[in-house]
Amino acid sequence: MDVGPSVQETLALVYRLQTIDNELVQITGEIETSRAGLREKEEELAGLSARIDSERKDLQSLAREKKDKEEELRTNEHIISENKKKNKELRNSREIQAYMAEMEFRRDEVERLQDEILRLMEAIETLERILDGRTAEIESRRQELDAVRSAQAGLEKEKEGDITALESEKTQLMSSFPENLLAQYQRLKISHKNGLVVSRIQEGTCGACRMVLPPRTMTEVKRRQKIIPCLHCQRWLYLE
Ligand SMILES: [Zn+2]
Per-residue pLDDT tens over the stretch 34-91: 999 999 999 999 999 999 999 999 999 999 999 999 999 999 999 999 999 988 888 8
What is the bridge-based pairing of β-strands 198-202 and 205-206?
antiparallel
Distance (Å) from CA 238 to ligand 1 centroid: 11
189: CA distance to ligand 1 center in Å?
14
User: What is the arithmetic mean of pLDDT over 117-131?
Assistant: 97
**Does the pLDDT at position 3 exceed 50?**
no
Report the distance separating Cα 159 and Cα 167, nearest Å: 12
Q: How many CA atoms lie within 13 A of 146 on its CB side?
A: 6
Residue 13 half-sphere exposure, CB side, CA atoms within 13 Å?
20
Q: Does residue 22 carry a pLDDT above 60?
A: yes
Q: Residues 6 or more apart from 208 whose CB is under 8 A from it?
A: 196, 199, 230, 233, 235
For strand 198-202 and strand 236-238, is the pairing parallel, antiparallel, or unpaired?
parallel
pLDDT bucket at 112, cuts 50 / 70 / 90: very high
pLDDT score of 5: 47
Instruction: State the pLDDT confidence band at 7, using cuts at 50, 70 and 90.
Output: confident
pLDDT digits (tens, 9 = 90+) for 134-173: 999 999 999 999 999 999 999 999 999 999 999 999 999 9
**Measured in angstroms, how far is the CA atom of residue 208 from the centroid of ligand 1?**
5
pLDDT at 166: 97
Whose CA is closest to 12, among 135, 161, 177?
177
Model pLDDT, residue 69: 98
Over 60: is that where the pLDDT of 23 sits? yes
- CA gap 52, 55 in Å, rounded: 5
How far, in Å, CA of 50 to CA of 57, rounded? 11
pTM above 0.75, yes or no: no
Ligand 1 center to 221 CA (angstroms) = 13
Using the Cα atoms of residue 232, residue 233, residue 239 and residue 240 in order, give the sign of their dihedral: negative
Quote the mean pLDDT of the chain.
Answer: 93
Residue 89 confidence (pLDDT):
86
Q: Rounded to the nearest whole angstrom, what is the distance from the C-alpha of residue 212 to the centroid of ligand 1?
A: 8
Residues flanking ion ligand 1, Cβ below 5 Å: 206, 208-209, 230, 232-233
Per-residue model confidence (pLDDT) at position 8: 80
In angstroms, the CA 174 to CA 219 distance is 29
Count of beta carbons in the 10 Å neighbourhood of residue 120? 19
CB atoms within 10 A of CB 96: 12
Q: What is the mean pLDDT of residues 96-118?
A: 96
Euclidean distance between CA atoms 239 and 10, whole angstroms: 11
What are the start-end ranges of the E strands in 3-120?
none
Per-residue pLDDT at 201: 95
**CA 132–ligand 1 middle distance (angstroms):** 63
| pLDDT score, position 225 | 81
Is residue 117 scored above 60 in pLDDT?
Answer: yes
